[in-house]
């Protein structure tokens, strides 16, 4: 099949010539005007590619893409179960196919090896596409690799707020797809599902979205479907302890096998927001539930979004300005023994239920070096008295070991499957 994909160099020549960068503060719309005539000879200029299309994330590296990559505007999460009779050898072949496909897709190239490319993403650039692979607890038993299963992958404890649908939870294999163009994202989803062939079948799949880059006058922390700024206190790669909190060290201790070096653990939760109930609250009541102002994300104790919250500050009535059960108070690392996780979620909307209420909320994804020191202690504390719990419902859950990135010529998980 001919490669119809426009090269990255050509993309940069058309769109990048404006000097605009993805996410640049205060930039204009970000469109580059093509000066060439149209193919039909009419002389009309064709639609120009934007800088969003040119952005490319590298597949190979120390860590897998899609963890520290800026969150994209479109996401797909999909879990697979290995087919009966599929073992270690077949799983290795599958990860080899998937890795090869992901490398081409992330470079804006069509996939090869599983029939003709669907052309869904034809004419588009890479659009910051990322593909991330992980292994579930059950994968190791199915492939005879139980001795290589990390202790950190033990099932999460039960939480009182859980209303989990087992058919939409867990799975042998997990794939996270993100892109800043919905067709590019769907193209990757479809390609990887086709590449699975007879080795694995889809267990569950979820679709998410975020605000598109450039939709606001300046780069901002994203908002969730409750209208709240979400992600203010996320760990930053510039933090001294970021790698320690988010990634398994290059020389893992006894709790992590060697193949997890440079990897991370992803907790995935489908959290439905009871929006009809939430939207009946006055703005002031919503802010007290969260502990932050809705307009700008600043703590109720004053300042801007990044101002440190004054937990002991009281108002004229003598009451704490930030209530004891406010979500932002409970989730602070200094209120949880330093527990921290990198949240990288997508919102979702799956229509309306029989009562006419929106089936919408958050595809919560968080990353940490150890879920027992990251997600679990925070969720336990939220379970005991978070004011937000009245307005949300955890409906699906998964925990996945995400190995480090693949080196040149390698595939993801090679150290596990061929070690």
Phi and psi at residue 416, to the nearest 5°: -75, -50
> Rounded to whole angstroms, what are the CA distances from 41 to 36, 37, 38, 178, 273?
10, 7, 6, 37, 52
Per DSSP, 358 falls in state E
Tokens of 65: 């893409």
| CA distances, 171 to each of 59, 273, 396, 403, 412 (Å) | 23, 24, 12, 16, 17
CA angle 89, 189, 131 (to 5 degrees): 70
DSSP of 193-213: HHHHTTTEEEEEEEEEE-PPT
Per the annotation, the verdict on 230 as an active-site residue is yes
Residue 194, burial from CB neighbour count under 10 angstroms (0-12, 13-18, 19+): middle
Which pair of structure tokens corresponds to residue 300? 């109720």
Nearest to 125 by CA among 96, 143, 105, 139: 105
Region of 334 please: left (phi>0), alpha (psi -120 to 50) or beta. Answer: alpha
Q: Which of the residues 230, 256, 370, 386 is marked catalytic?
A: 230
Catalytically active residues, by annotation: 230
């Amino acid at each position: 099949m001919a490669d119809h994909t426009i090269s990255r160099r050509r993309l940069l020549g058309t769109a990048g010539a404006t000097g605009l960068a993805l996410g640049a503060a205060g930039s204009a719309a970000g469109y580059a005007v093509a000066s060439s005539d149209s193919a039909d000879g009419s002389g009309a200029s064709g639609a120009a590619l934007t800088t969003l299309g040119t952005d490319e994330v590298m597949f190979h590296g120390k860590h897998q893409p899609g963890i520290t990559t800026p969150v994209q505007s479109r996401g797909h999460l999909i879990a697979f179960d290995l087919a009966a009779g599929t073992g270690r050898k077949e799983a290795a072949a599958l990860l080899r196919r998937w890795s090869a496909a992901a490398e081409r897709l992330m470079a804006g190239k069509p996939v090869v090896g599983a029939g003709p490319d669907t052309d869904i993403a034809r004419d588009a650039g890479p659009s910051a596409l990322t593909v991330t692979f992980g292994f579930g607890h059950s994968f190791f038993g199915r492939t005879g690799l139980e001795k290589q299963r990390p202790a950190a992958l033990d099932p999460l404890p039960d939480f009182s707020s859980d209303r989990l649908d087992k058919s939409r939870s867990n799975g042998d294999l997990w794939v996270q797809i993100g892109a800043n163009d919905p067709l590019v994202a769907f193209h990757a989803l479809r390609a990887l599902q086709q590449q699975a062939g007879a080795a694995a079948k889809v267990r569950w799949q979820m679709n998410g979205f975020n605000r598109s880059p450039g939709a606001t006058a300046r780069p901002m922390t994203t908002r969730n479907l409750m209208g709240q700024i979400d992600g203010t206190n996320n760990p930053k790669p510039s933090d001294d302890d970021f790698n320690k909190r988010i990634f398994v060290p290059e020389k893992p201790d006894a709790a992590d096998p060697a193949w997890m070096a440079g990897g991370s653990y992803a907790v995935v939760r489908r959290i439905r927001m009871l929006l009809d109930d939430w939207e009946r609250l006055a703005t002031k009541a919503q802010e007290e539930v969260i502990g932050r102002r809705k307009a700008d994300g600043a703590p109720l104790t004053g300042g801007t979004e990044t101002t440190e919250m004054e937990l002991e500050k009281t108002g004229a009535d003598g009451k704490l300005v930030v209530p004891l059960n406010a979500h932002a108070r409970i989730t602070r690392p200094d209120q949880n023994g330093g527990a921290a996780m990198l949240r990288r979620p997508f919102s979702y909307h799956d229509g309306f239920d029989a009562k006419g209420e929106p089936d919408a909320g958050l595809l919560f994804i968080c990353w940490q070096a150890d879920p027992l020191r990251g997600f679990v202690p925070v969720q336990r504390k939220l379970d005991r008295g978070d004011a937000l719990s009245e307005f949300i419902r955890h409906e699906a859950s998964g925990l996945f070991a995400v190995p480090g990135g693949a080196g040149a010529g390698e595939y993801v998980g090679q150290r596990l499957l061929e070690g």
